[in-house]
Structure 1
Amino acid sequence: MDTAKVPTQEDLRALQRHRLTRYFIIDTHQSSPAQADALAEQLKQNPLVEYAEFEPRAEGMHQDNGQPDASVSRQSIPDYTPRQYYLQGPQPVPPYKIGGVNAVEARSIPGAKGAGIQVISSEIDHWAYDHVDLPPPNIEKSEGANVDEHDTASVGIIASKENNFGTTGIVPDARVGYLEWDPEWLLQMAQQLASGAVMQLGVQYDYSPINKIGCIEDCLMPLEYNTPTRDIIAYTVKERGIHVVLAAGNGNINLDHPGFDGEFDRNRFDSGALYAGAVDPKTGLRASYSNYGKRVDLFSWGANVTTTYWSEENPTTLYTHTYAGTSSANPIIAGVIAALLGAAHAHGLGIRPPWEINALLVATGRPQINGNDNEIGVQPNVTAAIKKMLADNTDLPPAGRLALPEEVKSDDTFEARVYAESPSQKPLTYHWDSAGFIPPEGTGDRLSLRAPLVDADVQMSIAATVSDGTHAITLRETITIKAQPGQGNCGNTLAWDAGKTYSTSGETVSYKGMVYKQNYWSINKPPDEYSADYGKEWFTGTPCP
């Protein structure tokens, strides 16, 4: 990935924590399919290459576009807000079996219209900047994107103007920008934005066929099925503090399918992004096309969504009542997040981190009418979430998370960092518990650590206690230590353990291809540094037999 514009060592370390300095892009546009396949196979055989894959085809979800309402005169646009059922209260309005996200009521709460909040819509093409009911972009990264109806509909849901005609967005006071979808550009935009921004990623990947799950065609997957994209999104959320909502996809695919081997198990990997599923408002149940699984956090309307629209014949005053798919659910949820962030800002709560907002929306949301909240999550209730956020943020302890690499090599050095905030803006102190690593303790919001030598891959935990002087929380994450050839034991001699107390005279350990015998009591004394023929914690080492 392009890291040429990274200005500081800390920024570089943040990229390294998400492997983003380890990717290389090879242009195969001038190669034949056979040549490209041969190159990919050659790379996979290289022991220095961990992963090689062709970039998947980005699919713009245009099947969700719906139909334009062409019956309205351009000189007299009606007020369509009564038809924006997805913004109304939880009580369904017949013939629908599902209510809305309660955004209309939330507008009476200071800040809930999104003032001061930056929202980025990232799609294949951009919205109609000249539409009478839409704002122009305040920030844009694009190279040849066209105007289209899909993003016009998405941005209308989020931020169409509050006036006496057309539609009104969930956060009409928010600032809206456009990012032409490209993983590398997503990384660059993430580095440009401030914490607390919101991104809606209205794109999916077509991976057809996916034989391991029995999908032959229309295997439409969420963006995080692609490993480099997943790592960029994790960096965006965890390092930059940006709220990311991505479409779960329109493939009717079970993301918990055994064939995925836990790729969407958030206990194994969680980028911090929210997946948006879609419900059929006429049944109140999951829409037949929506991907599903425990990784899908939230859902909203996947059909009959009234919003702004575009066509070549009418580029400035068009609307639709049939926007659909996870395409429509995604911007609804992005708008809800922006409303929460705006309310937090207006009430002096500062920038609320993604993990806190995600948990609030899940805790206050409502499942499908059959009570199932494991298939596509819950539908957010923005008013309930705001009220809970305001009630909860009174003399609260700090909130935060640890940023660690997923895995490190045995005996390698790596960076760990804690991101934390005090809801009451109190100064924070930090204490690290990194037993088994070097050093075993530390202070400050970041720590440089060396992994222990291990004989086999092992999972270890690192914790940081954050205190505001009154309250304290302990954050803990697990990291995998990967054994390396040539390290570890010599025959049956166990590897030296940095966290173990060595008190048995003559006990032997292996370390970096040598065997050492204990002389004095020691803990966290690497044998290669603390050994001699006499007077040291370890006797001089001998080569492994």
Structure 2
Amino acid sequence: MKSMNKWLGAMLFCVASLPLLVSAATPDYSSVMILVKRGVLSSESHRQQGSSDESLKALKLLVPDIRPLVPASRERTNAQLQALQRHRLDRYFMVDTHKLTENQAESLLDKLRQSPLVESAEFEPRVEGMHEDNGKPIKKLARKSIPDFTGQQNYLQGKATVTPYKIGGVNAVEAWKVLGGRGQDMQVVSAEVNRWAEEHVDLPKANLEIDVGAVTGAHDTASAGIIASQQNGFGTTGIVPRAKLGYLHWGTDRLLQLADKLREGDVVQIGVHIRKKEPFSEVGCTVNCFVPIEDNRTVRDIITYLVEEKGVHVVLAAANGNINLDHPFFNGYYDRNAFDSGAIYAGAVDPKTGLRASFSEYGSRVDLFSWGRNVTTTTWSVSNPTTNYTHTFSGTSSANPIIAGVVASLQGVARAKGLGNIPPKELRKLLVETGYPQINGDSTEIGVQPDLEVAIKKMLEDKPPTGRLAVPEEVASGEIFSAHVYAGSPANKPLNYLWTATRFAPPIGSTETMSFTAPTVTADTRGTLSVAVSDGTHTLTLTEHINIKAPAGGGECGEIPAWDAGKKYVTYDEEVAHKGKKYKQNYKSVNKPPDLYSAPFGQPWHPGVDCP
């Protein structure tokens, strides 16, 4: 592999560009998200100071106003930096293109994709606020004559059905009887295109907000009502009426900004989806070809960071595209066995049939579902901003805040009962194990509907360790990377850790943070990291898969073999290739990367020289 300096000595652009999916997301041309290749950035110490090496300077010549997705900070600790690196967030940059014409923006994008410094470059996708799901407002009511609609919020009830519906609710009414079940000490953030009407008589003021001029709208007003409308004897009652409610005006960079304002155990509901270019014939869609927000790789990386590093519960609308996320076209992108951000995908059921709503996305990645039609909640209109309600909010739009409210209720009980913050993937698993399926018994199409009463009972039965594992989605051949386990004992017992690293070095470990070396591979390979967390009585095993990427072209330095972390080097002057350089062996060594352990004297390797 050529060194980056040699790339810079050549022309900035090469003729090959990254392949694209046949049906890309519809761009909005407001900004471009750039992921630079490994090695483009300078050392960790320089990154902390916000400086760049010659490679990044070369990229800035092409796009002077490029800015990092994560602003540099001298206050950031090494552990915090490692957490960002595990999810590539230190390698993302943005370029504002909203003042360019579409042709100018497309031309810039093409140049970026041809740059040898860039791994990928994409326009921000056209994100839509799911306004087609807005319900029809009921007649205007005077504040003093607003009836109590709680009895019509059938999604709050238990598993038993109420005519004319063929499926029950999430059993919030039983959760309210348990300490913490109403969302005390919980914070839920609604991330949408518009924002809820804070002047509505039944809704709280924002506890937290990241807003750059969002307008008030019906959609988020309905979402807010499902989650946190007040328990006041009139109007509607939210699933967690005592929770604090925050707002995020949707934006990729703002989603990452939100991370610094959240604490472990908080809940974020994302009520937007992405429109694909139509027709999306590869999956059989002709109109309304919507996909989940995680279709965007940058967003998925940020959500993974929120879940794995921050311990935040993320619930997102599975989308209203009636698309099978297991379709071969997606090439396993939504296969949780290949990669799992930890977010909950909320599907929608038609309560009048008890079966999947015709518009709902489906597939094995959809974890949970709830009502996608006939949902009673608050709403908003220009003519009635303060006392508006609807009985017909719909879509995965309505299912999504219902599921978010359920998560906040269950997490609220865990906190109130001394169990602390339940790791997001564990809480999701608990809801899946205790939920119930569509009336046809199928729990594979859109998952199950939660039953809070059953979930709370199961959660309180025992107090085993809890934890979440944070690892990169992919690493390069021979790369050194970090992994971290966040774990706790609800019973306040000391914890022990035992790592098992299949294909990585070292093969075992016993600390919360581990540094591993990926094996040297000539073809893309899959490895597995797992850690057993024990309190002496119970053992929790957490497992994640990591993709090990082979070097481009299959080799680094002609016929010279690549350095192998697991090999014991004993032959003087034996040559190896590593990160674009060749090294000669000096002393016996094993798992001593040549770029870190080389010197004229006293190190296992002689200084490296550029590959010919």
TM-score (norm 1): 0.90
Give the whole-Å Cα distance in 1 for the aligned partners of 2:120 and 2:435: 38
Give the whole-Å Cα distance in 1 for the aligned partners of 2:241 and 2:438: 28
- In the TM superposition, residue 455 of structure 1 has moved relative to its aligned partner by 3.3
Distance 1:174 1:536, change over 3 A: closer
Give the whole-Å Cα distance in 2 for the aligned partners of 1:485 and 1:293: 33
- In the TM superposition, residue 423 of structure 1 has moved relative to its aligned partner by 2.6
Partner of 2:10: none
Aligned match of 2:262 in 193, 201, 207?
Answer: 193
Amino acid at match of 1:170: I
Q: How does 1:428-439 map to 2 (within 5 A)?
A: 428-434=495-501, 437-439=504-506
Distance 1:145 1:531, change over 3 A: closer
Partner of 1:360: 430
Q: How does 1:204-223 map to 2 (within 5 A)?
A: 204-209=273-278, 210-223=280-293
Alignment of 1:478 with 2:559, yes or no, is no
Partner of 1:460: 527
Give the whole-Å Cα distance in 2 for the aligned partners of 1:519 and 1:16: 32
CA deviation profile, 1:225-250 (whole Å, cap 9, x unmatched): 01111111111111111101000111
Distance 1:216 1:162, change over 3 A: same
Q: Secondary structure at 1:24's aligned position in 2?
A: strand
Give the whole-Å Cα distance in 1 for the aligned partners of 2:591 and 2:179: 55
CA deviation profile, 1:348-369 (whole Å, cap 9, x unmatched): 1111110111001100111111
- In the TM superposition, residue 51 of structure 1 has moved relative to its aligned partner by 1.3
Q: How does 1:229-248 map to 2 (within 5 A)?
A: 229-248=299-318
Q: How does 1:57-456 map to 2 (within 5 A)?
A: 57-70=126-139, 72-209=141-278, 210-391=280-461, 393-394=462-463, 396=464, 398-434=465-501, 437-456=504-523
- In the TM superposition, residue 214 of structure 1 has moved relative to its aligned partner by 4.0
Contact 1:454-1:488 within 8 A present in 2 as well: no
- In the TM superposition, residue 476 of structure 1 has moved relative to its aligned partner by 3.5
Give the whole-Å Cα distance in 2 for the aligned partners of 1:258 and 1:342: 39
Q: Secondary structure at 1:155's aligned position in 2?
A: helix
Distance 1:188 1:105, change over 3 A: same
Higher mean alpha-carbon deviation, 372-381 vs 6-15, is at 6-15
Give the whole-Å Cα distance in 2 for the aligned partners of 1:162 and 1:275: 28
Q: Secondary structure at 2:547's aligned position in 1?
A: strand
Higher mean alpha-carbon deviation, 104-113 vs 467-476, is at 467-476
Aligned match of 2:93 in 2, 16, 24?
Answer: 24
Give the whole-Å Cα distance in 1 for the aligned partners of 2:603 and 2:129: 66
Q: Secondary structure at 1:326's aligned position in 2?
A: helix
TM-score (norm 2): 0.81
Amino acid at match of 1:176: L
Give the whole-Å Cα distance in 1 for the aligned partners of 2:108 and 2:500: 45
Give the whole-Å Cα distance in 2 for the aligned partners of 1:523 and 1:435: 17
Distance 1:349 1:541, change over 3 A: closer
- In the TM superposition, residue 313 of structure 1 has moved relative to its aligned partner by 1.8
- In the TM superposition, residue 95 of structure 1 has moved relative to its aligned partner by 0.6
Higher mean alpha-carbon deviation, 462-471 vs 154-163, is at 462-471
Give the whole-Å Cα distance in 2 for the aligned partners of 1:125 and 1:538: 59
Partner of 2:60: none
Amino acid at match of 2:516: L
- In the TM superposition, residue 431 of structure 1 has moved relative to its aligned partner by 3.8
Give the whole-Å Cα distance in 2 for the aligned partners of 1:473 and 1:481: 26
- In the TM superposition, residue 440 of structure 1 has moved relative to its aligned partner by 4.8
CA deviation profile, 1:40-63 (whole Å, cap 9, x unmatched): 122222222111111111111111
Give the whole-Å Cα distance in 2 for the aligned partners of 1:313 and 1:540: 74
- In the TM superposition, residue 213 of structure 1 has moved relative to its aligned partner by 2.5
Amino acid at match of 2:293: L
Distance 1:528 1:103, change over 3 A: closer
- In the TM superposition, residue 346 of structure 1 has moved relative to its aligned partner by 1.3
Identical counterparts, % of pairs: 57
CA deviation profile, 1:440-495 (whole Å, cap 9, x unmatched): 54442112333343333333333333332444444343323323369968877765
How well do the aligned residues superpose, as a CA RMSD in angstroms? Answer: 3.1
Distance 1:214 1:424, change over 3 A: same
- In the TM superposition, residue 496 of structure 1 has moved relative to its aligned partner by 5.0
Give the whole-Å Cα distance in 1 for the aligned partners of 2:166 and 2:106: 49
Alignment of 1:48 with 2:135, yes or no, is no
CA deviation profile, 1:18-40 (whole Å, cap 9, x unmatched): 11111121222222222211221
Give the whole-Å Cα distance in 2 for the aligned partners of 1:45 and 1:540: 32
Give the whole-Å Cα distance in 2 for the aligned partners of 1:88 and 1:260: 37
Give the whole-Å Cα distance in 2 for the aligned partners of 1:543 and 1:33: 41
Aligned match of 1:4 in 47, 72, 85?
Answer: 72
Higher mean alpha-carbon deviation, 42-51 vs 179-188, is at 42-51
- In the TM superposition, residue 74 of structure 1 has moved relative to its aligned partner by 3.3
Amino acid at match of 2:237: T
Partner of 2:22: none
Give the whole-Å Cα distance in 1 for the aligned partners of 2:168 and 2:157: 7
Distance 1:41 1:514, change over 3 A: closer
Q: Secondary structure at 1:10's aligned position in 2?
A: helix
- In the TM superposition, residue 438 of structure 1 has moved relative to its aligned partner by 4.9
CA deviation profile, 1:96-139 (whole Å, cap 9, x unmatched): 11111111122111110110000111111111112111111111
Give the whole-Å Cα distance in 1 for the aligned partners of 2:604 and 2:305: 42
Contact 1:453-1:488 within 8 A present in 2 as well: no
- In the TM superposition, residue 527 of structure 1 has moved relative to its aligned partner by 8.0
Structure 1 residues not aligned, in runs of 5+:
none
Amino acid at match of 1:300: S
Give the whole-Å Cα distance in 1 for the aligned partners of 2:315 and 2:301: 15
Contact 1:233-1:244 within 8 A present in 2 as well: yes
- In the TM superposition, residue 408 of structure 1 has moved relative to its aligned partner by 1.8
Contact 1:435-1:499 within 8 A present in 2 as well: no
Give the whole-Å Cα distance in 2 for the aligned partners of 1:542 and 1:21: 28
- In the TM superposition, residue 420 of structure 1 has moved relative to its aligned partner by 1.4
- In the TM superposition, residue 340 of structure 1 has moved relative to its aligned partner by 0.2
Higher mean alpha-carbon deviation, 234-243 vs 31-40, is at 31-40
Count how many residue pairs are aligned between Structure 1 and Structure 2.
540
Q: Secondary structure at 2:95's aligned position in 1?
A: coil
Give the whole-Å Cα distance in 2 for the aligned partners of 1:115 and 1:453: 50
Contact 1:119-1:174 within 8 A present in 2 as well: yes
